[in-house]
Amino acid sequence: MGAMGSFSRFTWLLMGAMASFAGCAAKQKSAEQGAAAGGPGAAATSTVTPAPQVASGLYSADEALRDALSGPLEYVGSGPWPEVERLHACVFRNQRVVVVNAYCTQTESSVFRIDVYSPAGGHVRIYAEGKGPVSAQMRQSYFTFKALSEPPLDPGLSMRPLTLSMSFSELRDYDQKRYEAFLPACYGGTELDQPLGGCLGSLATHAAAWSDQHRAFLRHASDDWYSMMREMRRLASQYGKDIEQEEDDGF
């Protein structure tokens, strides 16, 4: 495995968690490898309604996937994206959310990362890595599978709030500022088959509720997860681009 090429926000989160939870496994690094492209898939449609709040009060991975699959995805743009600047990301939106495929390549790699941004719900990131094309594998074959939830931006922050009408460059600028703001977050899952998890900052008291809410998803994934991967691979065959890969720790 090669060393990571970027110091991402999740590295900062994990450092904070290590200071609070003794015995947390040392963070290791993983690398991407090119592989064959995945197969097509279709997104479901449903009436647009606000997503319900989860027990933790945070936007959950299941909610984010349901919103991402709630209607046809419109292509917004593609190019470099914060934290994975040398990769090719593709951005889409529907009537509920903005969806970012961070590894939007013609040739599928052994990693998959999706970011879902909801103006009302906040931000969810889901990252998976295995020994081959991720869309061809089931959850049991992943050695890394993790999720992260962030709340909507605090109105007190001097940032333009997310809207579904933003252009690609506006969305990229929004994500860069969100990344630099070091927002409180809850996260969990496994990395290199080692468990990790916790909530930091003002969300520390939400850790148990968030873990309970995500336990089944992080252990087994879901039909919506597999549908989302297939849909992203289908769209990547149209909008993706193979370029020099940059290693990333997923968060």
Residue 24: inside a domain, yes or no? no
Number of helices (H), then strands (E), in the chain: 5, 8
Q: What is the pLDDT of residue 47?
A: 35
Residue 211: inside a domain, yes or no? yes
Closest CA to 92 of 83, 102, 84, 82: 102
For residue 173, the enclosing domain spans 9-17+31-42+51-239
Number of compact structural domains in the chain: 1
- pLDDT tens-digit profile of 113-153? 999 999 999 999 999 999 999 999 999 999 999 999 999 88
62 confidence band (pLDDT: 50, 70, 90)? very high
Q: What is the pLDDT of residue 77?
A: 97
Residue 188: inside a domain, yes or no? yes
Q: What is the pLDDT of residue 181?
A: 85
Beta carbons of 100 and 115 less than 8 angstroms apart: yes
User: Structure pTM?
Assistant: 0.77
Side-chain-side CA neighbours of residue 67 (13 Å): 30
Beta carbons of 207 and 186 less than 8 angstroms apart: yes
Question: Is a pLDDT exceeding 70 seen at residue 207?
Answer: yes
Residue 1: inside a domain, yes or no? no
CA distance 157 to 184: 13
Q: What is the pLDDT of residue 249?
A: 53
Q: What is the pLDDT of residue 195?
A: 96
CA distance 31 to 102: 15
